[in-house]
């Protein structure tokens, strides 16, 4: 059996997003050895790095290179920070990168995330497009942004990107749930 896997190699992040399901009091990292064993013991065709900002993992480039050598298709979900940390040579090993974007306006997006990521998003998208890497916006559908999904689609079209909408799933709080609008 062949597998396409989404993996969180770290929960470390430079953001403070209230809707993030991976916020924990304790930081964790999977070891290179754990990821290697996974890749060696399963027939993995695709690997998507998500959860925290994978670029903050000390062995991220080593993990990328290992998986790439095994001809595993690589993808990444990021707030833009990880892309800013990678060289073009390493970035080119990815076939797809999803940039997390929850508001169509950079000021609102940055305020919600507690950090300035909109600049990293724009620069990262530009780099990826120049390198021929498929990009998308990944958006969490919440009570604070459900009314602007039409504008999110326009933003994606403006950048000529796909728009992936994930329904917010509460873990730490339900304050962001779209269903709490009732």
Q: How confident is the model at residue 171, as a pLDDT?
A: 57
CATH for the 81-182 domain, from 2.40.30, 3.30.1300, 1.20.120, 3.40.50: 3.40.50
Q: What is the pLDDT of residues 21-63, one digit of tens each?
A: 666 677 889 999 999 999 999 999 999 999 889 999 999 999 9
Token pair recorded at residue 9: 């190699």
Q: How confident is the model at residue 1, as a pLDDT?
A: 87
Q: Where are the domains of the chain?
A: 1-12+21-78, 81-182
Q: How far is CA 49 from the centre of its chain?
A: 7
Q: pLDDT band for 174, please (50, 70, 90 cuts).
A: low
Q: What is the pLDDT of residues 136-145, one digit of tens each?
A: 999 988 888 9
Rounded to two decimals, what is the model's pTM?
Answer: 0.89
Question: Could you tell me the end-to-end alpha-carbon distance of the chain, in angstroms, rounded to an integer?
Answer: 44
Q: How confident is the model at residue 114, as a pLDDT?
A: 79
Contacts of 31-40 spanning 24+ positions with Cβ under 8 A = 31/59, 32/59, 32/62, 32/63, 32/66, 35/7, 35/9, 35/63, 35/66, 35/67, 36/66, 38/5, 38/7, 39/66, 39/67, 39/70, 39/72
- Token pair 């999977």: residue: 30
Q: In the chain, how many H helices and how many E strands?
A: 7, 6
Alpha helices by DSSP H, listed for 76-178, are 81-85, 88-91, 106-113, 118-130, 149-158
């Amino acid at each position: 059996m062949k597998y396409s896997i989404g993996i969180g190699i770290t929960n470390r992040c430079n953001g403070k997003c209230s809707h993030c399901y991976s916020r924990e009091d304790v930081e964790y990292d999977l070891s290179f050895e754990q990821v290697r064993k996974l890749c060696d013991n399963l027939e993995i065709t695709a690997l998507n790095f998500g959860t925290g900002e994978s670029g903050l993992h000390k062995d991220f480039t080593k993990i990328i290179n290992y998986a790439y050598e095994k001809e595993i298709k690589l993808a990444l979900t990021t707030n833009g920070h990880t892309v800013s940390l990678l060289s073009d040579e390493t970035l080119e090993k990815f076939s797809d990168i999803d940039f997390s974007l929850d508001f169509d306006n950079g000021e609102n997006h940055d305020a919600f995330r507690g950090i300035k990521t909109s600049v990293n998003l724009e620069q990262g998208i530009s780099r990826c497009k120049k390198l021929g890497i498929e990009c998308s916006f990944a958006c969490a559908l919440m009570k604070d942004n459900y009314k602007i999904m039409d504008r999110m689609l326009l933003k994606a079209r403006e950048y000529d990107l796909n728009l992936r909408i994930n329904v917010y799933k509460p873990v730490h709080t339900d304050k962001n749930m779209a269903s709490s609008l009732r």
